Structure 1
Amino acid sequence: MLTYTLVVNGSVYGSQSARNAYLFACALLEKGHQLVSVFFYQDGVNNASNLILPANDEFDLTKAWQALSFQHGIRLESCVAASLRRGVVDDNESKTHGLTSRNVADGFELSGLGGLAEAMLVQDRVVQF
């Protein structure tokens, strides 16, 4: 059994990279590997927004990440700098910047690049999408 961290650079919709990362994560878990964390970076931070509202007949990727995290104890980390640039804000950043609301989806947390650097040192594999 190997430990993995995934890095997702692609937006929640508009490209296949985030969906491919999710499918890869499911396959890893099916094969008995451990997915420790998923780090959302660049446009990938949009996966962490609770304002994503797909049509009823479309796959809800944000909810799928949340369910996977809940079922398997996977950390969902969104790069704080990339998140703020794209309007994805948690309670702490909302207070810091005097905003009236937050929109980070439950189960996701804003994290610095240090979290990714640590994962690269600790996990057996880091796979980027």
Structure 2
Amino acid sequence: MKFAILVNEGPYNHQAADSAFQFCKAAIDKGHEIFRVFFYYDGVNNATSLGQPPSDDRNVTKNWQKLAEENKVDLVVCVAAGLRRGITESNLAQGFRISGLGQLIEAGIHADRLVTFGD
């Protein structure tokens, strides 16, 4: 099965980002494909290169980067939501890209299921 994932919450203020990441890992481990992960609303904060979590805490951004690199997962940040929250090309973490809502629509069309995490 091919999944598209929508993440609407930031990495450290809500469980949604961690749940989305764990879902993606489990789906890939079971042989499914993650077509795209689209970060929207506060979810765009998963893509900042400015975060500095303590060494004994999880690094959600690095987790997404590793998942994308190892499994060829497309990580897309909504441009409008990103700009509202200060996410630009200059502080975007490697492995993420900025684009518009059309990428979410395309993901929904090409995937068998669109799974949303967060409000």
Aligned residues, how many?
117
Q: Which of these residues, 106, 109, 113, is aligned with residue 118 of structure 1?
A: 106
Partner of 1:11: 10
Pairs within 5 Å for 1:57-96: 57-90=56-89
| Structure 1 moving runs of 4+ over 4 Å | none
Which stretches in structure 1 are left out of the alignment for 5+ residues? 91-101
1:43-99 Cα deviation digits (max 9, x unpaired): 000001000111110010100000000000000000000000000001xxxxxxxxx
**Displacement after TM superposition at 1:122 (Å):** 1.1
1:106 aligns with 2:94: yes
Partner of 2:39: 40
Question: When the two structures are superposed, what TM-score results if normalisation uses the length of structure 1?
Answer: 0.89
The letter of the residue matching 2:46 is N
Q: CA RMSD in A?
A: 0.5
Question: When the two structures are superposed, what TM-score results if normalisation uses the length of structure 2?
Answer: 0.97
CA distance in 2, matches of 1:22, 1:32: 16
Which stretches in structure 2 are left out of the alignment for 5+ residues? none
Higher relative contact order (CA 8 A, sep 6+): 2
